[in-house]
Amino acid sequence: MGKMRNTRNLSLFNNLNNMSSDEVFEIGANCLLVLKNRFFAVVEIESEVPGVDLEVFVIIRIDEQTAMQLHDAGLEFCEIVNRIPEATEGVNVEFKCIFINKNQAFALFDVEDDFDEAVFVRISLDEAKRLIRRGAMQCTVIDARNTDC
């Protein structure tokens, strides 16, 4: 019985293995977030595999030199606003996570129309903590400064 299950899993794996790596994941919204003297690359990772609902934002802490190189290469600055973006016909707005940086807090929204955009909405630190206690996801933050990976 275990052998039958492994054969079925192997068949599924082989079907997925036929996808090129370009088809498995796609970079969605991406931008450069600058908060005083702190720099972050914001990247949305989306699965393109049918039936896999995986769409997450990763916020990567970077140094100023890396931030300027990314900006010089064309990475635009993230939009920071005071109000939640409005969903209209053709514009989808979806809350993704809470980002806390020192004493600043933001709700991150994925805004999709013809373009895919990360929009940070300023919120109070108390509101951020309340939303997290109620189950809102905290944004994944990776510190990539001074790494030789």
User: What are the tens digits of pLDDT across the range 40-87?
Assistant: 999 998 887 787 778 889 999 999 999 999 999 999 999 999 999 999
pLDDT score at 46: 84
pLDDT score at 9: 47
pLDDT score at 149: 54
Q: How far apart (Å, rounded) are the C-alpha atoms in residues 69 and 9?
A: 44
Pairing of strands 140-143, 55-62: parallel
| Cα separations in angstroms, 44 against 7, 64, 96, 148 | 34, 21, 10, 23
pTM here is: 0.80
Question: Quick one: how far is CA 102 from the chain centroid?
Answer: 20
Q: How far apart (Å, rounded) are the C-alpha atoms in residues 56 and 80?
A: 19
* 96-114 mean pLDDT: 94
Instruction: Give the tokens for residue 106.
Output: 């933001």
Domain boundaries, the chain: 20-143
Kindly report the three-state secondary structure assignment for every residue of 18-51. CCCHHHHEEEEEEEEEEECCEEEEEEEEEECCCC
